[in-house]
Structure 1
Amino acid sequence: MRTFEGIAELEAAVGTHLGYSGWHTVTQEQIDTFADATGDHQWIHVDPDRAADGPFGTTIAHGYLTLSLVPALVAQVYRIEGLAMAVNYGANKVRFPAPVPVGSRLRAGVEVRSVAPGGGGHLITNTVVIEREGGEKPVCVVETVTLAVAR
């Protein structure tokens, strides 16, 4: 975990890779709960018997479930002291290059792309790459934008 003493210190880290989160195991219960929350009950996610005969041999996590892990995983990589708040502002680009079979262990790597005034604070743009343990390709690559407001 890296700790930055304010926005200016983070700004000095632009262009650097900040590190990796811990590993997170995606469970069928998590997939089912996400399906219930979003109404996306496609068989490839929630029907282990049918998915066993499908293209991946098992159920897979929703792409948006993988994306929804980003805030919690990034919070394990770095934090900024002296903020009144930091909120999700959006994403510039999201891709899901590989599936996430149930039982996969995932972690996120974070690179700071830019820190710029905007939105009533500073807009922090990070490239977040979520990888699957043993996978050849990332499972999610996203450019996130966070609005950070100093105290």
Structure 2
Amino acid sequence: MPIVVPSELDDWIDREIGVSGWTTIAQERIDAFAQVTEDWQFIHVDPDKARESFFGGTIAHGFLTLSLLSKFAFEAGIEVKGTRLAINYGFDKVRMLSPVPSRSRIRGRLVLGSLDWKSPSRVLLGYDTIVEIEGSDKPALFAHWLCMLELESHATACSILMQHDELARQ
């Protein structure tokens, strides 16, 4: 996980930040997710019936795959020095591109796709996140995921200096 000072964030735009480790999507995890979300569709929880479908077996819920972005970001995301708080700000785009079969392994690949300073102490990061399925050429999911960071005062001073330098160059 790269550790970056706020004034260097621009250098990371459109660069790969990191790749998480592989995570196995066991049927037990799928069943637990079904329990929490009350989504009991047979393609997720009934191996016998799902085997008869065009999936050939049970698959993870798309929202289960999406929810694992937090885990992937903890493993492979960017750490901005002076961050007091980081919150999930939502998504600009989510596409579920391929089903994730039970017992397969997935991982997250993160690129810093956008950066928007909301104030000297707040920055909105946009991660272009791809969830890969081991052994597949087609990803499971693409998401442009937004995370708002609140920075401490010393980090705020760095961002103010960065903005001042940018204005001076104009």
Cα distance in 2 for partners of 1:134, 1:66 equals: 17
Partner of 1:83: 83
Cα distance in 1 for partners of 2:32, 2:105 equals: 18
| Structure with max Cα Rg | 2
Partner of 2:145: 144
Indicate whether 1:69 and 2:56 are aligned: no
Partner of 2:100: 100
Superposed CA offset, 1:76-130 (max 9, x none): 1132231110000010000011000001110111110121112871100110000
Aligned counterparts, 1:2-151, within 5 A: 2-4=2-4, 6-78=5-77, 79-118=79-118, 121-151=122-152
Over the matched positions of the two proteins, sequence identity in percent amounts to 38
Alignment coverage as a number of residue pairs: 150
Unaligned runs of 5+ in 1: none
Cα distance in 2 for partners of 1:104, 1:80 equals: 32
Given residue 16 of structure 2, which amino acid in structure 1 is its aligned partner? H
Unaligned runs of 5+ in 2: 153-170
- Give every structure 1 segment of 4 or more consecutive aligned residues whose post-TM-superposition deviation is greater than 3 Å: none
Cα distance in 2 for partners of 1:70, 1:55 equals: 27
Alignment TM-score, normalising by the size of structure 2: 0.84
- Bigger fraction of residues in helix: 2
Given residue 103 of structure 1, which amino acid in structure 2 is its aligned partner? R
Cα distance in 2 for partners of 1:136, 1:13 equals: 26
Q: Classify the secondary structure of the residue corresponding to 2:35.
A: helix
Q: Classify the secondary structure of the residue corresponding to 2:12.
A: coil
Give 1:33 deviation, angstroms. 0.8
- Bigger fraction of residues in strand: 1
Cα distance in 2 for partners of 1:57, 1:46 equals: 13
Give 1:10 deviation, angstroms. 2.5
